[in-house]
Structure 1
Amino acid sequence: MKATNPFPELLRAFFQEWLAEQRSASIHTIKSYRDTWRMLLRFVAERNGGGVARITLADVSASEVRAFLTHAEHGRKGTIGTRNCRLAAIRSFFSFVADKDPEYIAQCAEVLTIPLKRKPTAAPCYLEPGEVEAILAQPDRSTIEGMRDHVLLSLLYNSGARIQEALDLCPGAIRFEAPYYVRLYGKGRKERICPLWPETVALMKKLLERQPRAPDERIFVNRYGEPLGASGVRFKLAAYVAAAAKTTPSLRLKHVTPHSFRHATAVHLVAAGVDITVIRSWLGHVSLDTTNHYAQANLETKRKALEQVGVPAEGNRPARWKRDADLLAWLDTL
């Protein structure tokens, strides 16, 4: 006999059995999905006037999900990207429920048809080489924290790593002898190897001499020896950017985040003429379209391409499409 309210058991099975065990989702994915469901359950409970414990699966209807997404985007002033991430977490659960218990397949189908919201695609904010140098010059390397920050930012620029990939890094993932490289674990626990400059390896060695870490311990820690968090890095980076902007005014016009170093790595590799498929492997992109986005962002590369094309010679002869009156007349009828 089924439980009176199978919803709690289904949600527990989704996180413990399916997401963690069957899908082997990363801890970051699990935490993101957990936060979404916390917010959704509190939202539904408040609208229904009852407690979270009294919520049934029927209460989490497609209309409630749409209302929650509107609240997440407008009420909480979230971005469209965040709204879509919330929807992905909800969709994943209802896809699981549809396979687990076909009794709810009609409700699941309604939720699964809620579309992702399209958003404008802006060119990525990346840093010019001079701007990177200005920021890297800011940390006080005479202190352990300043040295740590300098090494971390240097690693981000050298490897193009995502911030969490860098923060999860342990000494055992670095090859300290030539050829130098670092082993990174990206989204979906995909492993990739990125080459390192000798200068980056030398900086890493100095940091580990001052603050030794075991091969399986995280390199970047705070003053208490606890792993450094992404929010802490963003806070320190903002201070470094503000200081660097005094000598490099162009930084005042940019919203610099740890991810900006990843963008800079990609754009500078494109400018250096590195094959786009190599850059995709370097950054750990699944789709080549994502990597092509950086090729489109680099203005200097576009300028060089334009110089190779050259200016068209002047002439009195009209363009071919203007000479073909019949073709123009036909197009006018469309």
Structure 2
Amino acid sequence: MKMSNPFPALLRAFFQEWLAEQRSASIHTIRSYRDTWRLLLRFVAERKGGGAARITLADISANEVRAFLSHAEHERKGTIGTRNCRLAGIRSFFSFVADKNPEYIAQCAEVLGVPLKRGPTSAPCYLEPEEVEAILAQPDRSTIEGLRDHVLLSFLYNSGARIQEALDLCPEAIRFEAPYCVRLHGKGRKERLCPLWPETTTLLKKLLERQPRAPGERLFVNRYGEPLGASGVRFKLAAYVEAAAKTIPTLRSKHVTPHSFRHATAVHLVSAGVDITVIRSWLGHVSLDTTNCRASWQTRPLTTRGTGPPSVEGGQHVGC
């Protein structure tokens, strides 16, 4: 006997069987898709006047998806990138449905035909060495929270890690003996080894001395011992940038995010003379084109060394 409403079972199978088991999707992908569908179901339920449990597959039409994406971008004030990420989560489900239940192929094709939205490509926020130093000087290192923030931002600058890569860091991933390095888990669960400067290793040791963590526990946690979230880091960073702008006025015109440190790492490594293929491995880029894009924002050679950035002495990469 055919189910009257197969949608709940299909959605459960999509997350539990296809994403988690067959595709072995990362926890970050699963959470992103989960958030997308939570928002979409709430949106459709409000428009249909019923609860989310009463939604059928026919209710998720291409027109409804377009309306949701418009809502996500304009009412919820999301970026075009966020809008496209929401669409990716919806498309993935309908691709799954088309393979599993071909009788819905027409509806699936309509939803899969909803296009991604092109947006303006803005230049990445580039930080000068003195701007990095000014930001790193803001956290009050006499407090555990200030020390944590200083170490986290210093680690981002040294490693060029993505924010989630840094927040997932555990002590067991760090080599505290020479040669200092850290094992990072990037997009697609790819692993890479990244060199650490002695200054960064010392900071990480100090943080662990003041706030001990087990080898497999997250290193960067809040006052309650829970792992930090990316939104919390962005909030604290905005306050540090605002304070640093009082001494470095150029920061007032820049939108600084945790990812800005990744751009700064790439540019400063190029300025220090590090080979572009080494930088690609350092940042975990799949293609040299991505690395060249980062490096193209180089403005001038490094002139400051206070935060432990890369330098070139006698043609050798110090800290590499």
Does the pair score TM above 0.5? yes
What TM-score does the superposition give when structure 1 sets the normalisation length?
A: 0.87
Pair 1:192 & 2:228 matched: no
Equivalence for 1:317: none
Equivalence for 2:238: 238
CA distance in 2, matches of 1:283, 1:251: 24
Q: Secondary structure at the match of 1:299?
A: coil
CA distance in 2, matches of 1:285, 1:9: 38
Pair 1:126 & 2:87 matched: no
**Structure 1, residues 105-126: CA drift from partner, whole Å, max 9, x if none?**
1211111121111111111002
Equivalence for 1:159: 159
Using the TM superposition, give the Cα deviation of residue 46 of structure 1 relative to its aligned residue in structure 2, in angstroms.
Answer: 2.1
Q: Secondary structure at the match of 1:262?
A: helix
CA distance in 2, matches of 1:246, 1:75: 34
Query: Which letter maps to 1:78?
Result: G
Bigger Cα Rg:
1
Equivalence for 2:80: 80
Equivalence for 2:282: 282
Superposition pairs of residues 272-311 of structure 1, within 5 angstroms = 272-300=272-300
CA distance in 1, matches of 2:270, 2:86: 33
Say whether the 8 Å CA contact 1:173–1:184 is kept in structure 2: yes
Query: Which letter maps to 2:27?
Result: I
CA distance in 1, matches of 2:53, 2:224: 38
CA distance in 2, matches of 1:300, 1:131: 14
Say whether the 8 Å CA contact 1:123–1:293 is kept in structure 2: no
Using the TM superposition, give the Cα deviation of residue 54 of structure 1 relative to its aligned residue in structure 2, in angstroms.
Answer: 1.5
**Structure 1, residues 54-76: CA drift from partner, whole Å, max 9, x if none?**
21111111111111111111222
- Larger deviation: 288-297 or 12-21? 288-297
Say whether the 8 Å CA contact 1:160–1:263 is kept in structure 2: yes
Using the TM superposition, give the Cα deviation of residue 155 of structure 1 relative to its aligned residue in structure 2, in angstroms.
Answer: 0.3
Query: Which letter maps to 1:179?
Result: P
Using the TM superposition, give the Cα deviation of residue 199 of structure 1 relative to its aligned residue in structure 2, in angstroms.
Answer: 0.8
CA distance in 2, matches of 1:219, 1:123: 32
Long gaps (5+) in structure 2:
302-320
Query: Which letter maps to 2:142?
Result: S
**Structure 1, residues 92-138: CA drift from partner, whole Å, max 9, x if none?**
10111111111111211111121111111111002111111111111
Using the TM superposition, give the Cα deviation of residue 180 of structure 1 relative to its aligned residue in structure 2, in angstroms.
Answer: 0.5
Q: Secondary structure at the match of 1:219?
A: coil
Equivalence for 2:99: 99
> Quick check: which one's helix share is greater?
1
Pair 1:215 & 2:218 matched: no
CA distance in 1, matches of 2:54, 2:85: 26
Query: Which letter maps to 1:221?
Result: V
Equivalence for 1:41: 41
Equivalence for 1:322: none
Q: Secondary structure at the match of 2:183?
A: strand
- Larger deviation: 5-14 or 287-296? 287-296
**Structure 1, residues 239-295: CA drift from partner, whole Å, max 9, x if none?**
211111111111111111111111111111222232323222211123333222212
Using the TM superposition, give the Cα deviation of residue 188 of structure 1 relative to its aligned residue in structure 2, in angstroms.
Answer: 1.3
Query: Which letter maps to 1:15?
Result: F
CA distance in 1, matches of 2:30, 2:11: 12
Equivalence for 2:150: 150
**Structure 1, residues 210-237: CA drift from partner, whole Å, max 9, x if none?**
1111110111111111111212211221
Equivalence for 1:174: 174
Using the TM superposition, give the Cα deviation of residue 205 of structure 1 relative to its aligned residue in structure 2, in angstroms.
Answer: 0.9
CA RMSD of aligned residues (A): 1.4
CA distance in 2, matches of 1:180, 1:72: 44
What TM-score does the superposition give when structure 2 sets the normalisation length?
A: 0.90
Say whether the 8 Å CA contact 1:141–1:150 is kept in structure 2: yes
CA distance in 1, matches of 2:78, 2:148: 32
Q: Secondary structure at the match of 1:124?
A: coil
Equivalence for 1:5: 5
Say whether the 8 Å CA contact 1:270–1:294 is kept in structure 2: no
How many residues align? The count is 301
Give aligned-pair identity as a percent: 86
- Larger deviation: 42-51 or 76-85? 42-51
Equivalence for 1:55: 55
Equivalence for 1:90: 90
Pair 1:25 & 2:25 matched: yes
CA distance in 1, matches of 2:40, 2:230: 25
Equivalence for 1:66: 66
Query: Which letter maps to 2:47?
Result: R
Say whether the 8 Å CA contact 1:125–1:254 is kept in structure 2: yes
- Larger deviation: 54-63 or 81-90? 54-63
Query: Which letter maps to 2:59?
Result: D
